[in-house]
Amino acid sequence: MLCIRCRHFEAVPDGTHCAPCTAALPVTTPHGDAWLRSPVGLGRATAVLLGVVVAADLFAVGSDVLSYGVWDTIADGGDVPDRAAWVDSLWVAGGVLQSFSMLAAGIVFLVWFHRVRVNAEVFAPAGHRKKRGWAVGGWFVPVVNLWFPRRIALDTWDASGSWNAPRPHGLVDAWWALWLVTLVYGPFAYSAYEEAETAPEIRRAVAQVLVADLVDAAAAVLAAVFVLTLTRMQDVKARSGPGVPPMAAPAVG
């Protein structure tokens, strides 16, 4: 018989839809219907924007180094007004670049993160402890944003891996650890800079900001690797077709 949806191809045996239409049908999960959609384009865009974040962070690191040199000279009694003004303009430019690049990358990352979360429901409908809305909302709710996104990332990671070769969580854990350090230490470092008054205090605060920018760059690199790896995992699993989960080991005793 013809597919009842497209009326063009033959339906699969004992079914009412052809193979292409069957693949396009939603999967009913405990969290609602889920459609499998390619994450490749979004994943690549997210990785590119995270690369821009890394570039902005490295630019900021360069301005931090120059700023530290200026304030070190001032703390030792030197006077470098022209150089100080030039370095200050670089400092401001670095902050602007960081803010805009992080905003752009964050928006696209959230769209990608929600998509791979929904895709993961198609692969493993019952393998998720948080509702899909938390894939976006979990980043903005105080306190829970310290672990909800990681929990969702791990569930998505596990659902997207091969049945027979589950991947370890090292990459996810490393990325999340650096993200938490950035989340906590970054505001602390910039607050110290805002409160510094004397040249030695400003010099010390600039050093703290330098460390924060380096950690942020490292976190963005790992985030890009995480995005590309998970995107590839889902693409491979979707192209390989339905699989059979491994049988559970029999209970002993």
Tens of pLDDT, residues 175-220: 999 999 999 999 999 999 999 999 999 999 999 999 999 999 999 9
Would you state the structure tokens that stand for residue 68, as one six-digit string? 């530290």
Per-residue pLDDT, 162: 80
24: pLDDT strictly greater than 50: no
Percentage of the chain with pLDDT > 70?
81
253 falls in which pLDDT band (50, 70, 90)? very low
Per-residue pLDDT, 84: 87
CA distance 171 to 62: 28
243 falls in which pLDDT band (50, 70, 90)? low
167: pLDDT strictly greater than 90: no
Per-residue pLDDT, 8: 45
Per-residue pLDDT, 102: 98
Phi then psi for residue 74, to 5 deg, are -65, -40
What's the whole-number mean pLDDT along residues 40-45?
Answer: 97
Measure the CA dihedral 215/220/223/229, to 10°.
-120
Q: Domain coordinates of the chain in residue numbers? A: 1-30, 36-239
Per-residue pLDDT, 155: 92
Query: Whole-model pTM?
Result: 0.82
Q: For residue range 103-143, what is the model confidence (pLDDT) as tens digits?
A: 999 999 999 999 999 999 888 887 688 888 899 999 999 99
